[in-house]
Structure 1
């Protein structure tokens, strides 16, 4: 190569077109769009590459049905190119992505599985260096367990683990070489390769190896997701709790909005927005945990743009403020106070709506209701109130 390693243009191709059926969560999104620590797996993966100074461009290969999920996961990440639709196999998807990168003329390309969100800066550094030196290289993690053949349900030959390695991604290549390798595999009718290093070997390329990272795991099963959630939680050691309170008076109407759900009632609630006491209290609880003012300072009732506004946007904004600090929302709990309407019949829908807005699983959302034994303005049926708590985790 005539250019030095620091001058080479590096692109990243993220493969996110699969369905991920082994991850569980039947009926939910593919595993790359499932949330861990409040954000999609793909978001965590792209963030790692977008933050690396040597990465110039990131192209993601997605399933044709996932464009909305992709847009939500990517948000405002820099360096991302327009996504490409994948094919029937992983090889088809990678080939589609490589063809789309041709016009951008990268020197090196790192090909990475979307479901490996824990790729570190050090592994990315090593992948770029290895591609610069060898032209084609894959990360390999040492095998630490005893490995044996299994035949007819019985233990067979023990293999020499010193000669074995677990292949990971990102796999790194000179762009022109890996594109040619994929095009040759297509011409030869070979669609059975399990990784891009094998595709490159079929082309006759020599594949170097560089140290992988045992923490650079691929999320495959439901247990993998549970461990990933725990890992991210413990990586944010600054645990904070906030509380919020809100009250709105009744007014003429035929429904109230509580926790984002329209609940039939013989009165409405008076407020500048939709007067959702539950979401307002949760929003203030999050602002409190952040020490970031209150809902009125962010959304002044004197501002006409918030007239009749859906309070979901206030809560989503507060959650985004947590993410902007590199943190995550871990749990919310709200108690709605009123003689009527009854919350019980709508509790599950309220939990689901709050979870959707906050990017949480339902088991991290508490919704309760109580009366005040006919005491005070709530007991006199003059209005509703809500008190909420929120737990967030931030980096130190």
Structure 2
């Protein structure tokens, strides 16, 4: 049983949303993938609403490419996303964008703040997963959302299969990836000092600098919309949820 933070002793909680992609793998000629709509609402808004509506999340920071900033600000106003406190210009890489958002948060929040770093195009997160991330950070100092690998995993640097890897302990790291602000920001700053500007994600950086990481198992529906196929799968999931709400099942 963990000791819960309460009242004035509770650390602030901030969602850090990376929405800097241009959607090059979506083949969308009209707009970046985070602004594509599902059920009449942009993907980024679906994502933000999960954190807006969570009772423990105090604020939201978003990193976005400068050319999308005005549009995002209009969406924040239109959908009354009152917890959005920082919108910062993203950099040339995901790492630089996340770093910029973390710096903005650190300029205004204490070092012990819990930050949940999440993809703007991962809109099917749920409250239970946010809760699990918060519990893990409070208990262990970190939370890496993962899903179990259900396929056979092979190593194949060429067209020849070199190795078949047992999948019993193989997971795919997803998001949120959650930490104490002082820990994750120090790692991003060390990476810049070491010349690393394009790491895959926060999990990779934290591991490379020796921080212990703790797994939180998330649902397979926690999909990141990267390709057109992902978009249609996600839209189908929203259709199912809407159908359940209408039918009551």
Query: Above 0.5 in TM-score?
Result: yes
* Alpha-carbon distance, 1:59 to partner: 0.7
User: Where does 1:296-307 land on structure 2 (aligned, <5 Å)?
Assistant: none
Q: Residues 124 and 395 from structure 1, CA distance in 2 versus in 1: closer, same or farther, beyond 3 angstroms? A: farther
Aligned: 1:39 with 2:5: no
Question: 143, 148, 157: which one pairs with 2:163?
Answer: 157
Root-mean-square deviation (CA, aligned residues, Å) is: 1.8
1:395, 1:50 → 2: CA distance?
26
1:70, 1:226 → 2: CA distance?
23
Question: 10, 16, 19: which one pairs with 2:19?
Answer: 16
Counterpart in 2 of 1:141? Answer: 147
* Alpha-carbon distance, 1:235 to partner: 1.6
2:203, 2:146 → 1: CA distance?
11
2:187, 2:86 → 1: CA distance?
24
Question: 210, 213, 237: which one pairs with 1:204?
Answer: 210
Counterpart in 2 of 1:61? Answer: 63
* Alpha-carbon distance, 1:44 to partner: 0.3
Counterpart in 2 of 1:257? Answer: none
* Alpha-carbon distance, 1:110 to partner: 0.5
Provide the TM-score with structure 2 as the length reference: 0.90
Q: Residues 145 and 221 from structure 1, CA distance in 2 versus in 1: closer, same or farther, beyond 3 angstroms? A: same
1:166 partner SS: strand
User: Where does 1:172-211 land on structure 2 (aligned, <5 Å)?
Assistant: 172-211=178-217
Q: Residues 114 and 166 from structure 1, CA distance in 2 versus in 1: closer, same or farther, beyond 3 angstroms? A: same
Question: 97, 101, 109: which one pairs with 1:97?
Answer: 101
Pick 1 or 2: higher relative contact order, CA cutoff 8 A, min separation 6: 2
* Alpha-carbon distance, 1:65 to partner: 0.1
Counterpart in 2 of 1:224? Answer: 230
2:204, 2:104 → 1: CA distance?
21
* Alpha-carbon distance, 1:68 to partner: 2.8
Counterpart in 2 of 1:298? Answer: none
Counterpart in 2 of 1:268? Answer: none
Divergent runs of 4+, >6 A:
none
1:112, 1:155 → 2: CA distance?
34
- Which of 1 and 2 has greater Rg? 1
Counterpart in 1 of 2:128? Answer: 122
1:152 partner SS: coil
Q: Residues 200 and 151 from structure 1, CA distance in 2 versus in 1: closer, same or farther, beyond 3 angstroms? A: closer
1:139, 1:231 → 2: CA distance?
20
User: Where does 1:1-396 land on structure 2 (aligned, <5 Å)?
Assistant: 4-6=4-6, 7-25=10-28, 27-74=29-76, 75=78, 76-106=80-110, 107-237=113-243
* Alpha-carbon distance, 1:394 to partner: 5.8
Provide the TM-score with structure 1 as the length reference: 0.58
1:4, 1:105 → 2: CA distance?
20
Q: Mark the runs of 5 or more structure 2 residues left unpaired by the alignment.
A: none
* Alpha-carbon distance, 1:105 to partner: 1.1
Counterpart in 2 of 1:309? Answer: none
* Alpha-carbon distance, 1:395 to partner: 8.0
